[in-house]
Amino acid sequence: MDLGETEKFGLEKRSVDSLNCNTIGLSTTEWNQIGSLPSPSTSMADSFGHVIWNQLPANTHNLNFSNAQATASSSNIGRPVPLNWNPSDSLTKGGMFLNAGPGMLPLSLSQFPCDVGFTERAARFSCFSDLAYPLTVPGTSDAIAEAQMQKIEAGGIEVLKGRSVLIDQSSNSGSPMKEQREKRASEFSEPEFSEDARDESTNLSKGVFGNNEKKRSNQYMESDQGQASSQLPFGPAEDATDDKQKAEKNSSTMATVKSSGKNSKDSGEAPKEDYIHVRARRGQATNSHSLAERVRREKISERMKFLQDLVPGCSKVTGKAVMLDEIINYVQSLQRQVEFLSMKLAAVNPSIDFNIEGLLSKDLFQTRTVSSSAIGFTPEMIHQQLHPPHQDLIQLGMPGIMNPSDAFRRAPNLQLTSTSGYKEATQQMTNAWDDDLHNVVQMTYPPLKTQDLNGAPRDGFPL
């Protein structure tokens, strides 16, 4: 019983030491990554590892050599793999020691499903380490490496034990773990590149004035990427294309805004042109006004002339005011005459009906006289003119046979023209009368007529 307790305490100490060794191992692996070694030495390291693990308490010289081999094997495996592997291995070892493993095989067999879970967790931790890599500074890494070497030298045997354990576990489960880790690394690497590409495209599209928009777009892209990564692997790419389209739309809207601005400027310029046009119109208006004023003056002067002709006593008047006075006086006098005559007509006796009939008959007579006066002949002249044709007819009838026939022919023509009553007929009558007068004048000369008459019977007698 006492020996069992002492063994238990020893195992606990060893587990604690192994944890410390794991932390030191992480730092050493980093150091190894910085100074990478060639890969062919992996097989040698594995073989020496087994030997050393079997002969741990015996040889110190072998321990130093095994350290060098371990570092080589870790570098050969790959950067994230040993970091992920070390803590799980240490935990499993702790479990073994605590359980007081009399049999090695069943524990090793039971480790495989546990290793899978631990590997997943290690992958997550490796994500953090990957994220941390670009943030590291080369000076700081060198300092860390030196500290690790110092610890190793101080630690001695305990550190060596941890190293050997790590190597063995990695050699046991190398191939499937490596493949899984590589896939995960490739998956995580793709979105990073896509993000970078998106950022560059957005920067180019937006230009200098889009800083705030860039920041917002980055935030939205990160959230979209998270959702897409949880749902589909190709989601972020689609989001990137959408963002590009949005950027193009924004640029098109900016172009439309600029074009609308130009249109607004053009519309602003249009009223200026209208204003200029209005000035031209003003000039034209002045010209038309002057023309209208001129026309008005001409009308006034023309009508004043008519009034001068119409109003008695205004023919010699020149001033406008004086002429208006004369016109006013004349109109007033005419109106007074109308009033006087209306009073006179009102004072007539009641026998107006009979008087009107008589007046109508007289009016008819006056119309005849007016018509004759219009033609230019007075009644006396008409009577005087009517007498000569009768005398002419009588005289013509006396001398011979041919002349009376001509006279009779002329007489009905004259009567027809007189009865027609038209102006043309009256003019023809006047012409006829003139001809008759000429004939009378010719007949008044007796020697000519007697000679003609004497000549005519002589010609008749010989026949």
Partner 1 sequence: MIFSDSPAIEQNGILDPAKDRIRIRKRGGSTAAQLSLSRWRTSKQNRIYSAKLFDALRRIRQTDSPVKPRSQSVKVAADRALAVTAGGRTRWSNAILAGRSIRRKNRRIRPAGGGERPTKLLSAARRSVKIPAVERKVKFLGRLVPGCRKLPLPSLLEEATDYIAALEMQVRVMASLAEKLSGFAGVPVASRPESDSASPIPS
Per CB under 8 A, residues contacting partner 1 are 296, 299-300, 302-304, 306-307, 310-312, 320-321, 324-325, 327-328, 330-332, 334-335, 337-356, 358-360, 362-363, 367, 370, 406, 424, 427-428, 431, 435, 439
Amino acid 244 reads K
User: Least separation, in Å, of the C-beta of 351 and partner 1?
Assistant: 7
User: Least separation, in Å, of the C-beta of 462 and partner 1?
Assistant: 24
Total Cβ atoms within 10 A of residue 352: 11
User: Least separation, in Å, of the C-beta of 287 and partner 1?
Assistant: 21
Nearer Cβ to partner 1, position 84 or 426? 426
User: Least separation, in Å, of the C-beta of 437 and partner 1?
Assistant: 12
User: Comparing C-alpha atoms, which of 48, 94, 107 is closest to residue 73?
Assistant: 48
Contact 39, 180 (CB under 8 A): no
Q: Which two tokens stand for residue 419?
A: 């009865």
CA–CA distance, 439 with 435 (Å, rounded to integer): 6
Nearer Cβ to partner 1, position 144 or 327? 327
* Cα diameter, the chain: 218
Spell out the residues 6+ positions from residue 129 whose beta carbon is closer than 8 angstroms to its own: 80, 83
CA–CA distance, 138 with 151 (Å, rounded to integer): 21
Nearer Cβ to partner 1, position 182 or 325? 325
CA–CA distance, 188 with 130 (Å, rounded to integer): 10
Total Cβ atoms within 10 A of residue 170: 24
CA–CA distance, 20 with 154 (Å, rounded to integer): 13
Nearer Cβ to partner 1, position 14 or 410? 410
Q: Is 125 exposed, middle or buried (0-12, 13-18, 19+ CB in 10 A)?
A: middle
Amino acid 197 reads A
Spell out the residues 6+ positions from residue 160 whose beta carbon is closer than 8 angstroms to its own: 63, 66, 67
Q: What is the DSSP letter of 173?
A: T
Residue-wise over 21-54: b if at least 16 C-beta within 10 A, else e? bbebbbbbbbbbbeeeeeeebbeebbebbeebee
User: Least separation, in Å, of the C-beta of 405 and partner 1?
Assistant: 11
Nearer Cβ to partner 1, position 284 or 427? 427
CA–CA distance, 299 with 289 (Å, rounded to integer): 15
Helix orientation angle between 402-420 and 423-444, rounded to the nearest 10 degrees: 150
Nearer Cβ to partner 1, position 41 or 385? 385
User: Least separation, in Å, of the C-beta of 361 and partner 1?
Assistant: 11
User: Least separation, in Å, of the C-beta of 400 and partner 1?
Assistant: 14
User: Least separation, in Å, of the C-beta of 383 and partner 1?
Assistant: 24
User: Least separation, in Å, of the C-beta of 261 and partner 1?
Assistant: 54
Total Cβ atoms within 10 A of residue 144: 15
User: Least separation, in Å, of the C-beta of 359 and partner 1?
Assistant: 5
Nearer Cβ to partner 1, position 34 or 334? 334
CA–CA distance, 94 with 88 (Å, rounded to integer): 10
